[in-house]
Amino acid sequence: MKIGIIGAGKVGISLAYTLKHKGFDVTAISDRLASSLDQARTFLGKDILYTDSNVSVVHASDVVAVTTQDRAIQGVAEEIYEKAKSLEGKLIFHTSGADPSSLLKPLDEKGALLGSLHPLQTFPDIKSAVAVLPETCIFVEGDEKALATLSILGEHLGARVYTIAGEDKVLYHLSAVFVCNLLCALFYAGRGLMDKINVDFAPFLPIIRATLKNIESKGPLQSLTGPVVRGDVKTVKAHLQSMKGMELNTKVYRALSEVACEMARERGAISEDVVQALLDALNET
């Protein structure tokens, strides 16, 4: 199985590096930027075709991973369709978290098997990506015949492979955004409040780690603590009062506290009257 990579970015290089070190034959990698190919060469060595031609990668490979930014995937597929000869028996997959494999159409008209493979992980740089891939869950989707190969690749890339339907990709990706990207946004909002009292982020790291540990062992519902789940209406009102003039922080606090009210209700932690009192306080203008 000869594997080619289109897109010498963090994802493409880290996947190629991992597969190469697991014994797979990574034969070619393409990118329009010479600097990206130079970076790939430092990780992957000399025995690979480095090129600015995506079609050359397709012709040299049995399996092609399109690891470009999401907005470029369809253009890559159109280029391959226009320039490549028969794609019979080749597997072409992309690594977008939000898009289904159908984004690669009409390559299937030339005989290609289509799929997508997404590591459920955040990749700030190549070295950290390579380090964290072994404990990462891999989500695959695509043609029935493509799934067998994608699953094999996923098993060698990460810790566990999950199969997902193409129509579920957007909700899958949205879930990841909530628990990863927007978590960073939430911490950033909290940091803004800390700045007002001249306290840095470090003292809050132990409680963050403890919360994440609780979530890992008990799940988010049972890990919820704080004024809402205690039914502490007075404190909630005090919080809102302290954020006068901080419209964005107030919006975030109101929305997430309403979610916390639903969690408290589901847990049966407080009475319905207290839940309603909390909701009334959160919606006071």
Q: Are residues 222 and 146 in the same domain?
A: no
Between β-strands 113-119 and 137-142, what pairing exists: parallel, antiparallel or unpaired? antiparallel
Q: Are residues 8 and 97 in the same domain?
A: yes
Q: Are residues 18 and 82 in the same domain?
A: yes
- Within 87-164, residue ranges assigned H as helices are 126-132, 144-157
pLDDT of residue 276: 97
Under 8 Å between Cβ of 229 and 270: yes
Domain span at 34? 2-166
Placement of tokens 């034969």 in the chain: 27
Which of 141, 166, 191 is where one domain is finished?
A: 166
Q: Are residues 8 and 107 in the same domain?
A: yes
pLDDT band at 112 (very low <50, low <70, confident <90, very high): very high
* 258, 262, 263, 268: CA torsion to nearest 10: 130
Give how many domains the chain has, as a whole number.
2
pLDDT of residue 85: 83
Q: In this predicted model, what pLDDT tens digit does every residue of 253-268 receive, in sequence order? A: 999 999 999 999 999 9
Percent of the chain with pLDDT over 90: 98
pLDDT band at 156 (very low <50, low <70, confident <90, very high): very high
Q: Are residues 227 and 142 in the same domain?
A: no
- For residue 178, the 8-state DSSP code is I
Using CA atoms, how far apart are residues 284 and 64, in angstroms rounded to an integer?
Answer: 55
Overall average pLDDT of the 84-99 stretch: 95
Q: Are residues 43 and 150 in the same domain?
A: yes
Q: Are residues 161 and 28 in the same domain?
A: yes
3-state secondary structure of 169: helix
Residue 185 forms part of a structural domain: no
The average confidence (pLDDT) of the chain is: 96
Q: Are residues 129 and 266 in the same domain?
A: no
Query: Residue type for 129, please?
Result: A
- In the predicted model, is pLDDT for residue 285 greater than 80? no
Under 8 Å between Cβ of 52 and 42: no
Overall average pLDDT of the 29-35 stretch: 97
Q: In this predicted model, what pLDDT tens digit does every residue of 187-215 receive, in sequence order? A: 999 999 999 999 999 999 999 999 999 99
pLDDT band at 244 (very low <50, low <70, confident <90, very high): very high
pTM: 0.91
Q: In this predicted model, what pLDDT tens digit does every residue of 164-187 receive, in sequence order? A: 999 999 999 999 999 999 999 999
pLDDT of residue 113: 98
Q: Are residues 140 and 23 in the same domain?
A: yes
Residue 244 forms part of a structural domain: yes
- In the predicted model, is pLDDT for residue 73 greater than 90? yes
pLDDT of residue 137: 98
